[in-house]
Structure 1
């Protein structure tokens, strides 16, 4: 979820996509905004950077972490075409998030 609680991000492993919904702050109703390819196969986990500007997606079966930018105004994500090859990535944690 976005830091301000207005956008919900999900991954769909069956379709290998990231799905974005707006959250109505008064009712909690979800409104579909976007469905985009996750850049690999089987998006096991993703994390949003503390800045809220980046999303990293761990695509387990394609052995790659993909980087997406996040538009602060719309909540939409966009591929950056940057990433990191890594055997079976299944979790992403940003430095400083370890408690």
Structure 2
């Protein structure tokens, strides 16, 4: 169990990619989507980057 910052403000949605290797946080109030590499052994996500997305509310894989 760990506490990890969301990389922004007001995380509206958390989504794992289909491989389970990446976690995405849509941060509505800061207007960005942050992504995190998920450690295969511990499951703890590590912040890897972010991109500006005005009013981010969800991340969907099609």
* TM surpasses 0.5: yes
Distance, in Å, in 2 between the alignment partners of 1:44 and 1:36 is: 15
Structure 1: segments with no counterpart, 5+ residues: 1-32
User: Quick one: distance in 1 between partners of 2:27 and 2:52?
Assistant: 10
Match of 1:50 among 18, 25, 29: 18
Matched residue, 1:91? 58
Runs of 4+ in 1 over 3 A off after TM superposition: none
Q: Which has the larger radius of gyration?
A: 1
Q: Relative contact order: is structure 1 or structure 2 higher (C-alpha 8 Å, sep ≥ 6)?
A: 2
- Cα-Cα RMSD: 0.7
Q: How many residues align?
A: 62
Paired residues for 1:19-98 under 5 Å? 33-80=1-48, 82-95=49-62
Once residues 20 and 41 of structure 2 are traced to their aligned partners in structure 1, the CA distance between those partners, rounded to angstroms, is: 11
Structure 2 gaps, min length 5: none
Counterpart secondary structure, 2:2:
strand
Greater strand share, structure number: 1
